[in-house]
Structure 1
Amino acid sequence: MKKLLLAVFSSLLISSCAIFRIHEFGETPGKPGRYPRFGLKDYLIGQLDEYRAGYDVTFYNMDLDLDPYNKMIGGEVAIHFRALEKLKTIRIDLYRNLHISSLQLSGTEIPFLRNDRAVIASLSDSLNVGRDYILKVKYEGKPISAKNPPWSGGMVWKNDNEGNPWVGVTCETEGASIWFPCKDHISDEPDSVRLRMSVPSGLQVVSNGILESHISKPGKEVFTWSTHYPVNIYNITFYAGKYEHFNDTMITEQGILNLDYYVLPENLEKAKNHFRQVKDVISFYSRSFGPYPWIREGFKLVEGPYEGMEHQTAIGYGSGYSNLRRLGGDHIIVHETAHEWWGNAVSVSDFRDIWLHEGFATYSEMIFAEHKKGYDSSLIYARHWLAGWINNKLPVVGPPDVSYWDSKDNDVYNKGAMVLHTIRNVLNDSTLFFHILQTFYGEHAAASHVTTADFIEVVERKTGKDWDKFFEAYLYNREVPVLNWYPGSYDKVQDPDSNVTKRVSFVVAKWTNVPEGFSMPVKLDCKDGNASLIIEVTTKPVLFYLKDMSSCNQLICNKRLSYYKTVIKKSILEEIEIPFKNH
């Protein structure tokens, strides 16, 4: 019987296949990617050993001199911390090429040894649990220069078009200890930071938070900036250059938000026009996710000597004052501003979960395109800029405790974004989807670090369903889910005497490249918009009759661009009985 059915359906496919249009993308490379061979150095960076886990940094007080002509930095950093354990050995971090001349705990010089970037200090007495201490570090040297900022980080030493020094730093993947001594682990955010930096006369310094003071001294300028919000260690930053400053304000539900812009003088008028879009971006994200998180310290765009970076309240901007037509705005402004919510307020404690920063910020681009250009245009944006640039060589969620993130792999950005879009499509309820995002943000913003498990918990709590197999497929496996299906139709005899027939359309479908027990709905749409059908597809082949869609001239599968591959597979008919006699 099965062979007969195959023959019948093969003849029908010639006519029926023409009415189906499939959005095709999503390939799984035959050869998987490989993680580097992790060694002691990787665990030294990524793991919270007992010497770093036993204390909590509350405040960095930094007093630094920047010499852009000799590419030097140095000064004193006071690390305020609270003891969590009775440590007699404590560790901080600083790249080995930077020299430490003094290390003091509560005014007493203490001995230390260095192992790569680890600085391990021996204490004469154990720390008292719950007590606050100050570790002062004097250092200087030539920090490593960035090879390809911001993706390959370090110091960026440039000159503007007038020959003035123009300096910045990016260190998300390399760590902040590339330029100052700190507890260099993203799980420990200080509650506040003060940066006092001196630079040659004629230059300005811009940093996180608010400007406390500016003092001119012979031959130099001294700027003091402070932030009183928790901040990712890699987001502590500075920019030094000859800047023009202009400002604006906007009304939010929380009150007045100050907007400050620091740009090179030749770009002042251009920036005044181009940065008008910032208000719309912030307003849209505030409606979509929740209130802007740093209302007391405002929002800054700072023209930096690299493309862009989400430094908290002081976003680096360097994309040339241009908009993407499909996006409806400047890509750097749209993406990096989203990080104020996703990455800066909601932050991970291990780079294995970095998709919660980058995937969410990238999906913010897509919904911003929807806001500016409409839903269909946002799908075009996703197809060309997101879905088409996914590697699928490694899982989205990476290995723990090694501080590993290959910034050349786009999957934490683009696949992470497409996973969110797929969740939205599975729910078939945008209101519920954005309620999930708002809940995730509201429960975790600036209060704690998050993991992928925390996001899954919110999704399951708000939907009342088990999503384990979904996230296992999309985040913990590299393979693209494959929808194997076979569309067809046949003539059903209505009246044997008159030989009157009725055309019956159907689909047989199942998922492969997914964990056993995986289930996900697929939506079929008539191109004319008159009808649609949601079918629940599992790892077992199921027959679906398209009772209300037989008149469709064109049936579209995956119109809303969920992330999976579709394959018309005739052999699927061999796995299921098609009961002609009953229809």
Structure 2
Amino acid sequence: MIASILALAAALQSAATPPAKGTPPITEQTQKSGGMRPAEQLAVTFDSADLQFEVLPETYSLNGIATLGFTAKSPVSRLLIDLDKNLPVTAVSIDGTALNAGSWSNPDGQLVIRLPRRLAKGQRVSAKITYGGVPHVAVNAPWDDGVVWSKTPEGKTWFATTAEGYGCDLFWPCMDFPEGEPTVVTLHITVPKGLKAPSNGKLIGMDTLPDGRTRWNWRAKRTNTYAIALNVGPYEEISGTYKSRFGNTIPMYYWYLPGEKAQAEKLFAEFAPTLDFFEALVGPYPFGDEKVGVVETPHKGMEHQTINAYGNGYAKAIEGFDWLFQHEFTHEWFANQLTAANWDDYWLHEGYGAYMQPAYGRWREGEARYAAMMQSQRGTIMNKVPIVRGKIISEEEVYEASKGGPGQDIYVKGSWMLHTLRNLIGDTAFWDVTRLAVYGRADPKPGNFEPRFGSTKEYEGFVRQVTGKDYGWFFDVYLRQAALPELVETRSGNKLALSWKVPDGGAFPMPVEVQVGDRIEKLAMTGGRGTLEVPADAHVVIDPWARVLKRSTAVEELQAWNASRKK
């Protein structure tokens, strides 16, 4: 008896000690997000998720009850649900009937539930899963996922989750792949007295429990799998409304830490102008019937749907706006409304995510600001592997170089590809293509669209649809090849000859501007070649406005020099 009491005391003391970053360790299965899916997950649609969370800062633990609804697309006898085994399951019921413990198992981070009866196509099932434990602590959120336990300057709990890389299974039972979005999610988040829990979607009520704790209830539709987030802290709130260009009124909220009111108000003042920019160039804010929401977090940031994480410390920049807020907000269109069905197509998220900051700079201040912001990205393009590989892959196979991923190129090379495309097909066509990609239609209005899945192939189709031309040669080089096209220049007497050299030796008829003295002329480069008569002593500048992403020996030499200095 004494031994068991001492063991219990030791366990409680251990649980009260903040877990180290990276602990408890996670399995390879939990770390994986996306990729090839097992047949049982392909056999069902994810209809609904009712998620009850209990955040327990005293023991750095998380308890949950998840009630998940599925419909069978084909006959299935087992449910395969992703859940980190650091959150052990203590009970499972199917359609209200409790299962015995032998009916489920979770040896490696994928919960297997044997159904009492085989589901036929079209049949529905409800699974209630009770679980809890000490969740994995992020090493360096949001680049490394998990939970973040922190304290405010006053010593109060400040807690957040991030899950883009390792996936939603870090803290709730889910389908951890892009198309695993539940149709509707209801969240009930119980937190200690004096703390708030802003989350996804629309607040449907707040309950005060007998012990003084509060339960925050939210409902969201079609939420991106990694975009569901828990945020807990002694938040203060700023709210307002935005009168949309499309006739609706959108509520806006910012939750920030005490003592930051003046800075918080300045950031909040950026919400409406940024919304106006997106609605003018792209289309309606996708979640206007829920909210625009931003919450201050103890990590840098993340595109959590309608509750974007912000941790930029109110940094000032020469552009005059907060790039991090703008970047994460971009993802409401490019990640949350338009979701890539396969991680291989995530340049649709991050290429646009990176491009929309220079585009906003152009909207606010004009071409000089735009050019400066684009040039700040140019030197970081690495060109080591293609952005798109044409197969189903996981998140790590995109972001990690050790697994063959393009990493940051999906951001900066994707951004420069979009810059080149816009200059190639023109502003009107570019934004028409963008609108089709985001909404699936040319005339989006509040209520006539919903979140959708997209792909590179579909995007190329939209370009053909809008322009009436096939730009496969463009995407083949920029997306499916690693090396950039090289523009070879030859001058002989009064003749300037230009030719494109591309990795696969194929056609690359990219037009290019040439400045001769004060005159700028565009060469069509039919067949990838063009000639121009110029005086032998004329000063010539190729592509003077840097409208085309192409090989630069200066960039390559700079990168090599920087790499040698690091060694």
Q: TM-score interval w.r.t. the shorter chain?
A: 0.7 to 0.9
8 A Cα contact 2:32 2:167, kept in partner = no
SS at match of 1:524: strand
Shift of 1:512: 3.1
Indicate conservation of the 8 Å contact 2:338/2:439, yes or no.
no
Q: Distance in 1 between matches of 2:271 and 2:354?
A: 17
Residue in structure 1 matched with residue 512 of structure 2 by the alignment = 522
What TM-score do you get using the length of structure 2 for normalisation? Answer: 0.85
| 1:52 shift after superposition | 0.5
Match of 1:196 among 188, 195, 202: 188
CA distance in 2, matches of 1:343, 1:520: 29
Residue 108 of structure 2 corresponds to 116
CA distance in 2, matches of 1:238, 1:407: 26
- What are structure 2's unaligned runs of at least 5 residues? 1-27, 402-406, 442-448, 555-567
Please point out which of 366, 371, 377 is paired with 2:358. Answer: 366
Larger Cα Rg: Structure 1 or Structure 2? 1
1:456 to 453, 460, 471: 460
CA distance in 1, matches of 2:497, 2:399: 41
User: 1:301-340, aligned counterparts within 5 Å?
Assistant: 301-325=294-318, 327-340=319-332
Describe the superposition over 1:398-456 as per-residue Cα deviations: whole angstroms up to 9, x where unpaired: 552434331682111101111111111222x2122112112222317634311111111
C-alpha deviation, 1:506, in angstroms:
2.4
Q: 2:82 aligns with which of 76, 93, 111?
A: 93
Between the aligned partners of 1:210 and 1:561, the Cα distance in structure 2 is: 42
Judged with a 3 Å threshold, the aligned counterparts in structure 2 of structure 1 residues 527 and 556 are, in CA distance, closer, same or farther, namely farther
The amino acid of 1:451's aligned partner reads S
Counterpart position of 2:496? 506
1:436 equivalent in alignment to 2:422? no
SS of corresponding position for 2:85: coil
**Greater CA drift, 327-336 or 397-406:** 397-406
* Alignment pair present for 1:285 and 2:271: no
Aligned equivalent of 1:382: 374
Conserved? CA contact 1:86–1:129, under 8 Å: yes
Matches within 5 A, 1:340-359: 340-359=332-351
Q: Percent identity?
A: 26
Letter in 1 for 2:429: L
Q: Deviations along 1:60-114, whole A, 9 cap, x unmatched?
A: 1011211022110012100011121111112101011111001111122340122
Q: Give the deviation of 1:246 after TM superposition.
A: 1.5
Residues 201-255 of structure 1: CA deviation (Å, up to 9, x unaligned): 1111110011111122244433333334211110011210001011111110231
> What's the counterpart of residue 3 of structure 1?
none
- Counterpart of 2:119? 127
Counterparts of 1:98 and 1:168, CA distance in 2: 17
Structure 1 residues 215 and 190 mapped into 2: Cα distance closer, same or farther (>3 Å)? same
Change (3 A) 1:526 1:338: farther
- Measured in 2, the distance between the counterparts of 1:317 and 1:566 equals 35
From 522, 531, 536, give the equivalent of 1:544. Answer: 531
Residue of 52, 57, 64 corresponding to 2:41: 52
* CA-atom RMSD in angstroms: 2.2
Match for residue 213 of structure 2?
Answer: 221
Within the candidate set 141, 145, 167, 1:149 is matched to: 141
Q: 1:44, CA displacement in angstroms?
A: 8.7
In the other structure, the counterpart of 1:418 is 416
SS at match of 2:119: coil
Task: Give the structure 2 partner of residue 557 of structure 1.
Answer: 543
CA drift of 1:469 comes to: 2.2
Name the aligned partner's letter for residue 383 of structure 1: Q
In structure 1, the partner of 2:485 is 481
Cα distance in 2 for residues equivalent to 1:209 and 1:323: 29
Q: Deviations over 1:149-191 (max 9, x none)?
A: 1111100110010000000000001011001111222112112
Aligned to 1:535: 524
Report deviation, 1:296: 0.7
1:509 and 1:537 in contact (8 A); partners too: no
Distance 2:264 2:33 in 1: 43
Aligned partner of residue 423 in structure 2, secondary structure: helix
Contact 1:483-1:567 at 8 Å conserved across structures: no
Greater fraction strand:
1
* Native 8 Å contact 1:485 1:566 kept in 2: no
**1:269 matched residue in structure 2:** 262
Deviation for aligned residue 1:264: 0.2
Aligned length: 509
Q: Which residue of 2 is the match for residue 84 of structure 1?
A: 73
Q: Return closer, same or farther for 1:206/1:297 CA change in 2, 3 Å cut-off.
A: same
d(CA) in 1 for partners of 2:536, 2:249? 56
Matched, 1:67 2:70: no
CA distance in 2, matches of 1:508, 1:272: 53
CA contact (8 A) 1:510 1:537 kept: no
Q: Which has the higher contact order (CA 8 A, sep 6+)?
A: 1
CA distance in 1, matches of 2:214, 2:247: 32
Q: 1:391 aligns with which of 375, 382, 397?
A: 382
CA distance in 2, matches of 1:559, 1:240: 47
Q: Aligned equivalents of 2:490 and 2:137: distance in 1?
A: 56
> CA-to-partner distance for each residue in 1:307-334, whole Å, 9 max, x for gaps?
1111111111110112321x33101111
- Give the partner amino acid of 1:477: Q
**Which sections of structure 1, spanning at least 5 residues, go unmatched?**
1-38, 491-503, 569-583
The answer on 1:467 being equivalent to 2:471 is yes
Instruction: Confirm or deny: 8 A CA contact 1:192 1:226 kept in the other structure.
Output: no
